[in-house]
């Protein structure tokens, strides 16, 4: 008997399980979740079990349940649930004898399957379930259930419809909503979110077949209860007989762009019409269309192949790409990717710096259209960023640490986990003082503009964000008369285990970078693009701030390395006490430090939650020498507990850069196992979206050696011992490049329409259209 998640050596597209364990529901629900960026479904079973988290989310439908809670992505009424009774006995696979059990997600096609034989109290049935969230028709969900009677005659009774009794951990975000049954089989429910007042139209229908292509008019009865509507069906199966149930469902919301301005009644009719069409098309054809879209829009676009001794490596990159596309709301610029995607309630559907620093690079380098949508969201967020700056007495754009609807401003909750010493809730300071998000946003936008060369976006949106964020930083700096320099006091850096620190290196350097970038941009625009310059000047009063930028920028304090070369993470870090972290670093769970200490105590120790100084060295690698990187690696890695899923990928890439390839590969393995590994509780609240972006970064930036430095492309691959070949693609300034790496050589093929140039190992290369350049490593 195997335990935990199951992987198949001969198929890098499947993840699954062959043991049903209700203690592990959370992991499977999240790791095998389905989605298309518009909607996401946790992979709960049709019949319900204690411990499940039955979540469906639709991007952007944020709602605030009460005044003192922050807005969150609501768990919308469930369309998936189906309860079965066989000769009056509830289908419950924890009872009786369960054999031949498999549950698999095929990431290539986006189909979830479950099959088993169940024997209980004289009943013996073979059950097969299939499900997909359409990648081609974003409103649509398809389900197929087959029950074959392997025993004595059985009456199958099932109830299935729409269940609005689900909540976000108890918080109900919807009004009761109208419930309607049309033609005896089309069920619809139309609730509103309680505060943001967004209507939803949820529809579902069933098609029952007992013989090939013959619609079976089974005995049925509609039932409506509080927040639910369903049909109850009865079907008799003789020995050997089989029934097939297709359940097709759809979700529309008032904020869907294509139905803008329509009334709830109109949308209800559209949904009904589309549902009828989908019903006629049927599960199989709808599924095939969706699978084709996965193939055409994801898998065949710049495929990645890894020839490794470890089959899980290829699986990991497929897993990462699958989930990144399942959770990216590519259809609407007013939405962004949440820290847990659409696969769990963790972090309330909010967007963090996780997007710009961890996930956006994947899209920027491979799906620039999706990246454009993600960076446009930040431009739309300027209103909220102004609001936040103003509330805090600053100028310009201060981006919220946690973001929801673009103009919401700050949405970080104020109270968090228990403090084991005081027994009270710990205050979450990030929304107040974790300010590096503002330069992270500018960083993501700059990288997008450099890699894609998207001038239109730059002129209409990107430049503005860079200038506006620099305005914030200039107003945020604090002059220290005694030291004759500007400092940034009282912040949290990427390492959230250090609160209220002064001069966090990452924050100061990135603020400096942001202002410097704005200065160069100001000068370039004024010189070369006057029309754009004057427009921006009018909007942002640039001429006034430019003088300030020039005056301040070189007086910003950038924490300098100690004699030994260690860059202080902040003013006080290096003087704090060092403790033995072995126990915590070895623990399969994260956050175990807090079983022994509270945050106040951890604040006084040299313990780092996640890459902080080391992230700075990775992102701005041309500012630091290899020696500096090594010294800081040796200092900080042993003090880092990697309690955030954002930590390991950065470390793996840096380790590869420092020629520590074995160590890097060890970290790569740990990083991929955050969601795919043995720890069956690690993903209960949802998958770790940033770490998925991190998987792609480890492959392409770490081992593929790709960087965009100062607007130039560099490709310096180095493969781990286990890999004999890595092939991947990137799009550089609109030109698709295929990069193939082995231990001796790297080749770059330009499949684009203009010549490209890049640097590798100290030399410059040009690759003209349709040609391939080979370089010995
Ligand atoms: C990390 C943050 C991250 C957040 C959301 C926290 O645990 O420390 O850096 O943005 O999770 O993923």
What is the 3-class SS of 34-58, one letter each residue?
EECCCEEECCCCCCCCCCCCCCEEE
**How far is the centre of ligand 1, averaged over its atoms, from the C-alpha of 347 (Å)?**
9
Give all strands of the β-sheet with 756-760 in edge-to-edge order: 706-709, 712-715, 756-760, 763-767
Q: pLDDT tens across 619-667, in order?
A: 999 999 999 999 999 999 999 999 999 999 999 999 999 999 999 999 9
Q: How far apart are CA 666 and CA 646, in angstroms?
A: 16
Q: Which ligand 1 atom sits nearest the alpha carbon of residue 688?
A: 12
Q: Is the Cβ–Cβ distance between 216 and 207 less than 8 Å?
A: no
Q: How far apart are CA 111 and CA 104, in angstroms?
A: 8
Token match 């409506």: residue?
224
**How far is the centre of ligand 1, averaged over its atoms, from the C-alpha of 339 (Å)?**
8
Supply the pLDDT for residue 420: 87
Token match 């079973």: residue?
45
Choice from 354, 429, 643 to test ligand 1 binding pocket (greatest atom count within 8 A of CB): 354
Domain of residue 51: give its range. Answer: 32-293
Give mean pLDDT, residues 357-372: 98
| 9 within a domain of the structure (yes/no) | no
Buried b (16+ CB within 10 A) or exposed e, 274-288: bbbebbebbbeebbe
Q: How far apart are CA 387 and CA 400, in angstroms?
A: 10
**How far is the centre of ligand 1, averaged over its atoms, from the C-alpha of 647 (Å)?**
10
Supply the pLDDT for residue 596: 94
Q: Is the Cβ–Cβ distance between 733 and 760 less than 8 Å?
A: no
DSSP letters for 696-721: HHIIIIIIS-EEEETTEEEE-----T
Give mean pLDDT, residues 552-581: 97
Supply the pLDDT for residue 285: 98
**How far is the centre of ligand 1, averaged over its atoms, from the C-alpha of 401 (Å)?**
10
Token match 């090594």: residue?
630
**How far is the centre of ligand 1, averaged over its atoms, from the C-alpha of 742 (Å)?**
35
φ, ψ of residue 276 to 5 degrees: the values are: -60, -40
DSSP conformational letter for 679: -
The strand ranges marked E within 408-564 are 415-418, 425-427, 478-480, 485-487
Q: Which residue's CA lies nearest to atom 1 of ligand 1?
A: 644
**How far is the centre of ligand 1, averaged over its atoms, from the C-alpha of 543 (Å)?**
37
| 63 within a domain of the structure (yes/no) | yes
Q: pLDDT tens across 204-235, in order?
A: 999 999 876 566 777 899 999 999 999 999 99
**How far is the centre of ligand 1, averaged over its atoms, from the C-alpha of 608 (Å)?**
13
Residue 595 has pLDDT above 90, yes or no: yes
DSSP conformational letter for 566: P
DSSP conformational letter for 484: T
φ, ψ of residue 16 to 5 degrees: the values are: -170, -160
CA 517 to each of CA 71, 133, 354, 539: distance values in angstroms, whole numbers, following the listed order: 34, 42, 22, 19
Residue 269 has pLDDT above 50, yes or no: yes
Supply the pLDDT for residue 699: 98
Buried b (16+ CB within 10 A) or exposed e, 382-398: bebbbbbbeeeebbbbb
| 277 within a domain of the structure (yes/no) | yes
**How far is the centre of ligand 1, averaged over its atoms, from the C-alpha of 172 (Å)?**
26
| pTM exceeds 0.85, yes or no | yes
State whether residue 593 is helix, strand or coil: helix
- Token pair listed for 181: 């049954």
Choice from 438, 504, 690 to test ligand 1 binding pocket (greatest atom count within 8 A of CB): 690
Give mean pLDDT, residues 258-264: 96
Q: Who lines ligand 1 at CB under 6 A?
A: 339, 347, 352-354, 494, 496, 609-610, 644, 646, 690
Give mean pLDDT, residues 149-175: 97
Question: What CATH number is given to the structural domain containing 197?
Answer: 2.70.98.40
Bridge partner residues of 714 (DSSP): 707, 759
Please enumerate, by residue number, every residue annotated as part of a binding site: 353-354, 609-610
Supply the pLDDT for residue 679: 85
**How far is the centre of ligand 1, averaged over its atoms, from the C-alpha of 484 (Å)?**
34
Q: Which residue's CA lies nearest to atom 12 of ligand 1?
A: 339
CA 690 to each of CA 319, 371, 417, 697: distance values in angstroms, whole numbers, following the listed order: 13, 15, 22, 10
Please enumerate, by residue number, every residue annotated as part of a binding site for substrate: 353-354, 609-610
Of the residues 496, 499, 637, 740, which is catalytic? 496
Q: How far apart are CA 314 and CA 458, in angstroms?
A: 35
Token match 């400096």: residue?
512
| 166 within a domain of the structure (yes/no) | yes
Give mean pLDDT, residues 683-689: 96
Instruction: State whether the Cα torsion 459-464-470-474 is positive or negative.
Output: positive
Nearest to 613 by CA among 640, 585, 634, 632: 632
Choice from 336, 339, 411, 593 to test ligand 1 binding pocket (greatest atom count within 8 A of CB): 339
Q: How far apart are CA 155 and CA 238, in angstroms?
A: 9
Supply the pLDDT for residue 1: 44
Q: Which residue's CA lies nearest to atom 11 of ligand 1?
A: 644
CA 644 to each of CA 210, 428, 432, 689: distance values in angstroms, whole numbers, following the listed order: 51, 16, 20, 12
Q: pLDDT tens across 59-118, in order?
A: 999 999 999 899 999 999 999 999 999 999 999 999 999 999 999 999 999 999 999 999
Choice from 399, 644, 691, 692 to test ligand 1 binding pocket (greatest atom count within 8 A of CB): 644
Q: pLDDT tens across 695-739, in order?
A: 999 999 999 999 999 999 999 999 999 999 999 999 999 999 999
Mean pLDDT of the chain: 96
Q: Which ligand 1 atom sits nearest the alpha carbon of residue 646?
A: 9
- Token pair listed for 281: 């098309």
pLDDT band at 685 (very low <50, low <70, confident <90, very high): very high
Q: How far apart are CA 399 and CA 419, in angstroms?
A: 28
- Token pair listed for 24: 């592990």
Q: For the chain, how many structural domains are there in total? A: 1
Q: How far apart are CA 419 and CA 600, in angstroms?
A: 9
| 338 within a domain of the structure (yes/no) | no
| 594 within a domain of the structure (yes/no) | no
DSSP conformational letter for 181: E
Q: Is the Cβ–Cβ distance between 71 and 47 less than 8 Å?
A: no
Q: Which residue's CA lies nearest to atom 9 of ligand 1?
A: 494
Supply the pLDDT for residue 3: 61
DSSP conformational letter for 378: H
Q: pLDDT tens across 369-407, in order?
A: 999 999 999 999 999 999 999 999 999 999 999 999 999
Supply the pLDDT for residue 322: 98
Q: How far apart are CA 383 and CA 248, in angstroms?
A: 40
Residue 350 has a CB neighbour count (10 Å cut-off) of: 25
Nearest to 397 by CA among 409, 411, 415: 409
Token match 């769970």: residue?
589
Alpha-carbon Rg for the chain, nearest whole angstrom, is 27
Q: How far apart are CA 634 and CA 567, in angstroms?
A: 12
Using a pLDDT cut of 70, give the percent of the chain over it: 99
Give mean pLDDT, residues 413-422: 91
Give mean pLDDT, residues 163-171: 97
| 445 within a domain of the structure (yes/no) | no
| 100 within a domain of the structure (yes/no) | yes
- Token pair listed for 247: 């359940």
| Residue 496 bears catalytic tag | yes
Give mean pLDDT, residues 330-337: 98
The residues near 721 (Cβ < 8 Å, ≥ 6 apart) are 661, 662, 665
Nearest to 709 by CA among 447, 517, 459, 508: 447
């Amino acid at each position: 008997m195997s335990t935990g998640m199951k992987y198949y050596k001969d198929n890098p597209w499947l993840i699954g399980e062959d043991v049903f364990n209700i203690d592990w529901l959370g992991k499977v629900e999240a790791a095998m979740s389905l989605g298309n960026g518009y909607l996401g479904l946790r992979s709960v079973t049709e019949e319900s079990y204690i411990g499940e988290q039955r979540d469906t989310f639709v991007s952007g439908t944020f709602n605030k349940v009460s005044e003192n809670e922050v807005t969150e992505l609501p768990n919308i009424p469930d369309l998936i649930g189906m309860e079965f009774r066989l000769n009056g006995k509830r289908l419950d696979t924890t009872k009786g004898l369960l054999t031949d059990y498999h549950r698999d997600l095929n990431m290539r096609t986006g189909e979830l399957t479950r099959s088993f034989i169940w024997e209980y109290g004289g009943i013996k049935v073979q059950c097969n379930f299939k499900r997909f969230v359409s990648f081609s028709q974003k409103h649509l969900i398809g389900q197929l259930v087959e029950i074959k009677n392997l025993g004595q005659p059985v009456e199958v009774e099932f109830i299935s419809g729409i269940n609005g009794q689900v909540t976000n951990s108890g918080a109900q975000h919807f009004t009761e909503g109208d419930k309607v049954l049309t033609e005896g089989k089309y069920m619809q429910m139309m609730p509103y979110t309680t505060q943001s007042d967004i209507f939803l139209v949820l529809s579902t229908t069933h098609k029952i077949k007992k013989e090939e292509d013959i619609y079976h008019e089974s005995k049925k009865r509609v039932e409506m209860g509080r927040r639910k509507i369903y049909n109850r069906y009865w079907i008799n199966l003789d020995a050997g007989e089989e029934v097939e149930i297709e359940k097709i469902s759809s979700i529309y919301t008032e904020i869907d762009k294509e139905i803008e301005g329509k009334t709830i009644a109109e949308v209800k009719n559209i949904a009904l019409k589309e549902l009828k069409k989908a019903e006629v098309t049927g599960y199989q054809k709808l599924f095939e269309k969706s699978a084709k879209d996965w193939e055409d829009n994801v898998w065949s676009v710049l495929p990645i192949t890894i020839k490794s001794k470890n089959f899980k490596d290829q699986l990991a990159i497929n897993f990462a790409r699958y989930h990144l596309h399942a959770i990216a709301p590519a259809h609407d610029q007013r939405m962004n990717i949440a820290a847990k995607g659409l696969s769990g309630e963790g972090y309330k559907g909010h967007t963090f710096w996780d997007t710009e620093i961890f996930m956006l690079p994947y899209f920027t380098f491979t799906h620039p259209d999706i990246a454009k949508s993600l960076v446009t969201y930040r431009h739309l967020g300027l209103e909220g960023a102004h609001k936040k700056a103003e509330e805090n007495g600053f100028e310009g754009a201060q981006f919220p640490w946690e973001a929801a609807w673009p103009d919401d401003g700050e949405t970080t909750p104020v109270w968090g986990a228990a403090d084991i010493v005081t027994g009270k809730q710990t205050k979450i300071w990030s929304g107040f003082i974790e300010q590096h998000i503002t330069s992270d946003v500018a960083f993501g936008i700059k990288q997008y503009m450099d890699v894609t060369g998207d001038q239109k976006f730059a002129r209409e949106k990107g430049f503005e964000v860079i200038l506006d964020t620099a305005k914030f930083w200039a107003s945020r700096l604090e002059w220290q008369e005694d030291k004759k320099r500007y400092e940034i006091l009282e912040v949290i850096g990427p390492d959230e285990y250090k609160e209220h620190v002064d001069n966090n290196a990452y924050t100061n350097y990135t603020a400096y970078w942001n202002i410097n970038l704005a200065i160069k941009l100001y000068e370039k625009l004024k010189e070369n693009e006057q029309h754009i310059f004057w427009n921006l000047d009018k909007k942002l009063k640039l001429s006034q701030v430019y003088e300030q930028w020039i005056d301040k920028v070189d007086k910003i304090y950038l924490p300098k390395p100690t004699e030994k070369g260690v860059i202080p993470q902040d003013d006080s870090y290096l003087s704090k006490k060092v403790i033995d972290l072995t126990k915590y670093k070895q623990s399969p769970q994260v956050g175990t430090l807090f079983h022994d200490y509270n945050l106040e105590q951890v604040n006084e120790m040299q313990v780092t939650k996640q890459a902080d100084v080391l992230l700075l060295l990775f992102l701005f690698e041309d500012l630091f020498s290899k020696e500096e990187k090594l010294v800081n690696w040796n200092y900080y890695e042993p003090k880092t507990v990697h309690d955030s899923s954002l930590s390991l990928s950065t470390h793996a890439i840096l380790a590869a850069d420092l020629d520590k390839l074995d160590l890097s590969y060890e970290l790569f393995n740990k990083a991929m196992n955050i969601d795919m590994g043995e720890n069956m509780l690690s993903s209960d609240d949802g998958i770790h979206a940033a770490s998925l972006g991190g998987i792609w970064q480890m492959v392409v930036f770490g081992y593929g050696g790709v960087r965009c430095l100062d607007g130039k492309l560099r490709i310096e691959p180095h493969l781990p011992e286990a890999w004999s070949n890595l092939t991947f693609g990137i799009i550089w300034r609109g030109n698709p490049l295929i990069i193939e790496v082995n231990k001796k050589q790297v080749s770059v093929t330009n499949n684009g329409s203009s010549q490209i140039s890049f640097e590798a190992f100290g030399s410059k290369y040009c690759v003209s259209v349709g040609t391939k350049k080979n370089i010995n490593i």
